[in-house]
């Protein structure tokens, strides 16, 4: 996990452009809210996008709010509404999300092995962007995951 401060810190175009979109929605706030984004804003990334949220009553647990079609195809099921800890590698992923939410800064994962069984996608990279409903607390994260086909791996 590598925390970032600007689009120039991001080594791949799709993540840098999503960061710029997220940054444009902040205005004078530290974080934008999920409601600041329309589906039209997110079209270039929708199939690879997921949003997780947390409840103030259980701030160390994340649940999937939405998940893109490409991600559900790779996972081979739709975890919308479920606890992040229940997916393959979910406890580690939940810990990353919690660290990011508590720090409040965007982060990237440049290249990691995938926990999912599909052999045509053995690695992934991701960007995670904090969201806040009230401007005082990170209530969720918007994450774009790029699963790297075997042909892209060396």
Confidence of residue 98 (pLDDT cuts 50, 70, 90): very high
Superfamily of domain 2-152: PAS domain (3.30.450.20)
How many of the other CB atoms lie within 10 Å of CB of 77?
A: 10
Rounded to two decimals, the pTM is 0.87
- CB within 8 Å of 154: residues ≥ 6 apart: none
> Structural domain boundaries of the chain?
2-152
* pLDDT confidence bin for 117, thresholds 50/70/90: low
Q: What is the tens place of the pLDDT at every residue in 38-92?
A: 999 999 999 999 999 998 999 999 999 999 998 888 788 899 999 999 987 889 8
**pLDDT tens profile 139-148:** 999 999 887 7
The CA-based dihedral angle spanning residues 40, 42, 48, 51, taken in that order and rounded to the nearest 10 degrees:
-110
C-alpha neighbours within 13 Å on the C-beta side of residue 64:
20
């Amino acid at each position: 996990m590598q925390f970032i401060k600007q689009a120039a810190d991001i080594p791949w175009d799709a993540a840098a452009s999503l960061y710029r979109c997220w940054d444009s929605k902040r205005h004078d706030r530290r974080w934008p809210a999920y409601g600041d984004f329309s589906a039209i804003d997110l079209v270039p990334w929708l199939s690879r996008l997921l949003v997780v949220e947390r409840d103030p009553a259980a701030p160390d647990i994340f649940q999937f709010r939405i998940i893109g079609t490409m991600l559900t195809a790779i996972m081979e099921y739709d975890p919308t509404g479920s606890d992040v800890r229940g997916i393959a590698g979910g406890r580690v992923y939940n810990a990353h999300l919690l660290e990011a939410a508590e720090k409040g800064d965007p982060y990237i994962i440049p290249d990691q092995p995938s926990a999912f069984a599909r052999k045509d996608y053995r690695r992934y990279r991701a960007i995670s962007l904090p969201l806040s409903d009230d401007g005082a607390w990170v209530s969720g994260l918007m994450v774009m995951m790029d699963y790297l086909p075997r042909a892209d791996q060396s």
